[in-house]
Structure 1
Amino acid sequence: MSRRSEEAPLRARVPADIERADRIAFGMSGRQLVILAVAGLLLYAAWTAVATLVHPVVFLAGAMPVAAGAFLLAVGRRDGISLDAWVLAALRHRRSPRRLVPADGPVIPAPAWVQTAAGPGDRLPLPAPLRLPAKGITVDGLIDLGSDGTTGLVAASTVAFGLRTSGEQNALVAGFARWLHSLDGPAQIVVRAQRVDLTYLADRFLAAAPGLPHSALEEAANAHVAFLDDLAARRELLHRQITVAVRSRRGAHHTAHTAAETVRALAGCEVPARLLDGPDAAVRLAASLDPAAPALTPYSTSDRGDDL
């Protein structure tokens, strides 16, 4: 056994959150200090207003839940975001309309003679215009997010990590860590799995088998059809689609450069990857918005970089 294969598995330290706010005082960020300061000022103002009317113990008992709530709001986290941002998002979601329709402008109300049996005044509430975060897709495949910048999509495949030696695994981990350390903006890796139906392939092979130039080829095609039918009956095959999205607010050129660097970095990790152009990016986004859509066949050439 070579010395390289006896190397211990490598563990690379990477930043968990490149957008984490700077700590200013007491291990807290400026946002957290502002929340606690505002809560403290409000409690002080309330105490000065009722100091002559309320016993200090009674005021302290009433102020403790408020102070605890402010502290939890400042330091708490849920679903990977700060609790105050989570609460604001929940309030916006609660107040936002539930029915959305594609429209360029305001939705035109129905004529007055159209009567409904639900809603205030026997009128159903109008749906609101649907506003998607993506404004459009360029020819190069960059997604325009308006004030949030642009996003580039990279289609990636997988690598047989478990079949490599310890030294090879260390090289792959180190290469992946170098890519993570090189990021200066948000990045997301999306793995989408769908069931694969082999009936389409089996029917194509079966229909083409009689036209083959030799009987041995026809027998091989029929045997392959039987293999596909048996495989579909015994196994649940999955088609995995891996997409790496990188976003930048420094302009389309910087986003394209980051996406190209991602392809080169993943190639160094022996992960096949390619940039998605405009049509491919549109197809991938449409597929992500429709999870129930049928997956591509495993032999399709229109979605290179995906795995079965």
Structure 2
Amino acid sequence: MSRRDDEAPMRARVPADVERADRVAFGLTARQLVILTITGLVLYAAWTALVRVVPPLVFAACCVPILGAAFFLAVGRRDGIGLDVWLLAAWRHRRAPRQLVPSEGPITPAPAWVTTTRGPGDRLPLPAPLRLPAKGITADGLVDLGPDGTTGLVAASTVAFGLRTPAEQNGLVAGFARWLHSLDGPAQILVRAQRVDLTHLGDRLASRAPSLPHPALEDAAHSHAEFLDDLAARRELLHRHVTVAVRSTRSPGNTTHQTAETVRALSGCEVAARVLDPLDAAATLAGALNPSAGPSPPRGRPVPELDESEEL
């Protein structure tokens, strides 16, 4: 064993608050200071208007819960985000329509003569037009996001990291770090897992085994079919699809360059990557919009199927 194989694996400490806003004053962010300042100004304006009517102790007693609620709203967090942002998102979700349909224009109400068990049709809540961030797919396979730029999709394979030596692991980590440092825009790594059923392969092997030209081949086919059935019964097999999305707000040519650089950089990490063409990009988006159907494998890497010439 070489000396490099004995070296310790590389460790990188990633702070959990990498996206935390900067502290401006008193350990508070600008957003928190704005909330507290507005609350203080509103209470001061109320005090100047009611100073001759309301006793100071009564007004102070009424201000305590308001200040407490403002402070809790400013510094509180829920699900990793600020409480004010969380409440605003909850309010938008509550007011958002529950039914969305694809439509180019506004949804027209039903005619007055349409009746249901709930009353006339025009009283029913109308569905809202479905507005997706993706406007379409270009001839180069880029996802057109309109004013938000374009996104290139790269299909990548996985790497057996735990089976490598410490030196090999360090090389993979260094290569992945170089790709991260080369990014000049947003990037996302999407990993989707789909259950793999091997029973149909075992059934096909068992059904075609008697037609093989030699008894030894028939026994081997039955043995392999039993192995596949036993493996499917004892293990939950998963097939992972890894997609890297690189977005750029510049020209589509810059996005194409970024996707090509992503493929080149990931190849240095022993990752088999390729840029998705328009058909594969459309299939990937369709699988992401319908997770219950399972991710569709790219055409370049189909799910293994038995062929007449490769049954064994």
How high is the TM-score relative to the length of structure 1? 0.84
Match of residue 238 from structure 1: 238
Does the 8 A contact of 2:114 with 2:121 survive in 1? no
Q: Deviations over 1:68-127 (max 9, x none)?
A: 333333333333433332222211111111111111111222221111222689832111
Amino acid at match of 2:280: D
Amino acid at match of 1:84: D
Does the 8 A contact of 1:241 with 1:306 survive in 2? no
Cα 1:115–1:18 change in 2 (3 A) is same
Between the aligned residues of both structures, percent identity stands at 70
Distance in 2 separating the partners of 1:21 and 1:251: 30
Match of residue 131 from structure 2: 131
Match of residue 106 from structure 2: 106
Match of residue 254 from structure 1: 254
Match of residue 299 from structure 2: 302
Match of residue 38 from structure 2: 38
Match of residue 90 from structure 2: 90
Distance in 1 separating the partners of 2:277 and 2:175: 25
Does the 8 A contact of 1:157 with 1:271 survive in 2? yes
1:112-261 residue pairs with structure 2 within 5 A?
A: 112-118=112-118, 123-205=123-205, 217=217, 219-261=219-261
Does the 8 A contact of 2:288 with 2:295 survive in 1? no
Amino acid at match of 1:304: R
SS in 1 for 2:125: coil
Structure 2 unaligned residues grouped into runs of 5+: 305-312
Pick which of 163-172 and 217-226 moved more.
Answer: 217-226
Distance in 2 separating the partners of 1:174 and 1:86: 37
1:8-87 residue pairs with structure 2 within 5 A?
A: 8-14=8-14, 21-87=21-87
Deviation at 1:237, TM superposition (A): 0.9
Does the 8 A contact of 1:143 with 1:150 survive in 2? yes
Cα 1:232–1:148 change in 2 (3 A) is same
How high is the TM-score relative to the length of structure 2? 0.83
Larger relative contact order (C-alpha < 8 A, sep ≥ 6)? 1
Cα 1:120–1:175 change in 2 (3 A) is farther
RMSD: 3.1
* Paired positions, count: 304
Cα 1:69–1:173 change in 2 (3 A) is farther
Cα 1:301–1:178 change in 2 (3 A) is closer
Does the 8 A contact of 1:239 with 1:295 survive in 2? no
Match of residue 293 from structure 2: 293
